[in-house]
Amino acid sequence: QSVLTQPPSASGTPGQRVTISCSGSSSNIGTNYVYWYQQLPGTAPKLLIYRNNQRPSGVPDRFSGAKSGTSASLAISGLRSEDEADYYCAAWDDSLSVVVFGGGTKLTVL
Partner 1 sequence: EVQLLESGGGLVQPGGSLRLSCAASGFTFSSYAMSWVRQAPGKGLEWVSVISGGGGSTYYADSVKGRFTISRDNSKNTLYLQMNSLRAEDTAVYYCAKRDYGDYAASENWGQGTLVTVSS
Instruction: Give least dist CB 15 to partner 1, A.
Output: 28
Establish how many alpha carbons lie within 13 A of residue 88's alpha carbon, considering only the half-sphere containing its beta carbon: 18
92 makes contact with partner 1 (CB under 8 A): yes
39 makes contact with partner 1 (CB under 8 A): yes
104 makes contact with partner 1 (CB under 8 A): yes
Which parts of this chain interact with partner 1 (CB under 8 A)? 2, 32-33, 35, 37, 39, 44-47, 50-51, 56, 86, 88, 90-92, 96-104
